[in-house]
Amino acid sequence: MTAERGPSEGELLDRALIEEATKKSGLVWVRGPGAAARPLWHVWHEGAVYVVGDGPGEQPLPGLSDGGTAEVTVRSKDKGGRLVVWTAAVSEPALGSEAWRAAVAELKGKRLNAPDGEAMPARWERECRVLRLAPTGATAPLPDGPLAEPPLPSPATTREPVPAGLPRLLFRRRNKPRKS
């Protein structure tokens, strides 16, 4: 008869690091197979990251599919530096299931600037995907060098150049001595 081994001390520390860092960070960088890493807002619920997207007005989830894997990079909330990188198993809870409803309730509380307020869960059910990214094991070693990449294409642009007189308006002396 062989005794089953539980998780090692290192595995427990990795799990604790993943959970605590991810809970505290409002944003994670997720890279699906063949896709660029994208910043995603999320919630930590029931031992995994949940994200919602791929619908009108929601974040894109490129390369993430049910049954696939993804690389998740968690940043520090205060300094923004990389804290931990881990591999996730991607799954999609069944629409309307208990797991889906619980995840949506958590996500709804974290969604900022929603255009439809209380109708948001119904819109997510009709038009979006809710994904669960569960840690699969140990953390990945942090790279030695920089991982800078060019920015992803975006329709966001600066509207027009800053007006020439703006610096004078912003930096003029505000506390002029008063005459008595």
pLDDT 10s digit of each residue in the chain, 180 long? 555 676 788 788 889 999 999 999 989 999 999 888 899 999 999 999 999 999 888 999 989 999 999 999 998 888 878 889 999 999 999 999 999 999 999 999 988 888 888 899 999 999 999 999 999 987 888 778 877 778 777 777 767 777 787 777 777 666 566 665
40 neighbors 30 (Cβ within 8 angstroms): yes
**Domains in the chain and their CATH numbers?**
9-141 (2.30.110.10)
Contact 91, 131 (CB under 8 A): yes
Q: How far apart are the first and last CA of the chain?
A: 97
37 touches 73 (CB < 8 A): yes
**Continuous segment of H or E residues that includes residue 110:** helix 98-110
pTM metric for this prediction: 0.77
